[in-house]
């Protein structure tokens, strides 16, 4: 990792966090070249450490690495177009132009099945295997078929334990004074730290810094939290989490919403109803 978070301040960490994705470009490429063990995952984690639907611990259990592949910016729009919402458009233009190392390094793609437009786009734009998650057994069979790797129950348990720890750390952050934008950003971009123990160390450091700031009375920058963080439902939050300004205020947490249901917020062009649409 290029960034030494153990010596950084909280503000320095918040400023750098989106760059974990950039660092992952190199990490994913090297892993592809050495082991070809990258699994592209399209599915939001919201306030959790892994996709709310896809069993990412199982992917680790097969000796593979799950990598979020959703496009998160509009920069790529000048290189191409795709008739869909901003999240799908960004992802598909990156995919078809081969300008995203995360998509390029993935040997297959696993989708959470929350949006039929996502599945249609992947099947149209790639020749790589596309698997819509239904259950762990079918995912395991698909991973073993594509990657020819053996599943390890011990590795699976280790990953499950790590994700339990990570979710506990995110719950601590949820109860902190971080804005919803910063909280959502940390939850999403920390997923690009592929080694789970390193991810645990990173979020532990953030929790320690927040605790220290509160104890030292640094209320000007990180005031004491209000009563309770307000849940804000978002379709595909990852590319807009730093931009949204919910009517509930800045002290919120991103939460998922059932397929086809109305949400508080969605990215521009989403096929589902929402009170607010945010452009990339």
Q: Specify the fold of 5-153.
A: Rossmann fold (3.40.50)
Q: 82 falls in which pLDDT band (50, 70, 90)?
A: very high
Q: In this predicted structure, what is the pLDDT of residue 235?
A: 97
Q: 1 falls in which pLDDT band (50, 70, 90)?
A: confident
Q: In this predicted structure, what is the pLDDT of residue 211?
A: 87
3-state secondary structure 166-182: HHHHHHHHHCCCCCHHH
What residues have CB less than 8 Å from 88, skipping those under 6 apart? 82, 115, 117, 118, 121, 269
- Is the pTM higher than 0.85? The answer reads yes
Q: 68 falls in which pLDDT band (50, 70, 90)?
A: very high
Sign of torsion over alpha carbons 13, 16, 22, 26:
negative
Q: In this predicted structure, what is the pLDDT of residue 122?
A: 99
Average pLDDT over residues 187-192: 98
Average pLDDT over residues 38-51: 96
Q: In this predicted structure, what is the pLDDT of residue 214?
A: 66
Summarised one tens digit per residue, pLDDT across range 161-186 is 999 999 999 999 999 989 999 999 99
């Amino acid at each position: 990792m290029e960034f030494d978070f153990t010596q950084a301040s909280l503000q320095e960490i918040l400023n750098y966090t989106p760059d974990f994705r950039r660092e992952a470009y190199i990490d994913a490429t090297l892993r592809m070249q050495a082991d070809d063990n990258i699994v592209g995952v399209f599915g939001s984690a919201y306030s959790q450490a892994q996709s709310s639907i896809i069993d990412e611990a199982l992917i680790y259990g097969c000796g593979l690495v799950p990598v979020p592949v959703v496009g998160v910016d509009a920069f790529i729009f000048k290189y191409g177009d795709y008739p869909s919402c901003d999240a799908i458009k960004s992802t598909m233009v990156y995919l078809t132009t081969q300008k995203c190392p995360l998509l390029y390094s993935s040997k297959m793609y696993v989708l959470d099945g929350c949006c039929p437009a996502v599945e249609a786009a992947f099947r149209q734009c790639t020749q790589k295997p596309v698997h819509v998650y239904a259950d762990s057994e079918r995912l395991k069979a698909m991973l073993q078929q594509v990657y020819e790797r053996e599943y390890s129950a011990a590795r699976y348990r280790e990953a499950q334990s790590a994700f339990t720890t990570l979710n506990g750390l995110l719950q601590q952050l949820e109860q902190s004074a971080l804005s919803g934008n910063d909280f959502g950003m940390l939850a999403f971009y920390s997923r690009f730290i592929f080694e789970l123990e390193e991810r645990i160390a990173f979020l532990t450091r953030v929790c320690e810094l927040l605790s220290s700031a509160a104890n030292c009375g640094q209320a000007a920058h990180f005031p004491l939290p209000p009563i309770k963080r307000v849940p804000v439902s978002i379709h595909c939050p990852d590319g807009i989490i730093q931009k949204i300004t919910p009517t509930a205020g800045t002290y919120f947490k991103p939460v998922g919403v059932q397929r086809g249901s109305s949400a508080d917020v969605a990215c521009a062009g989403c096929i589902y109803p929402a009170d607010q649409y945010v452009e990339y």
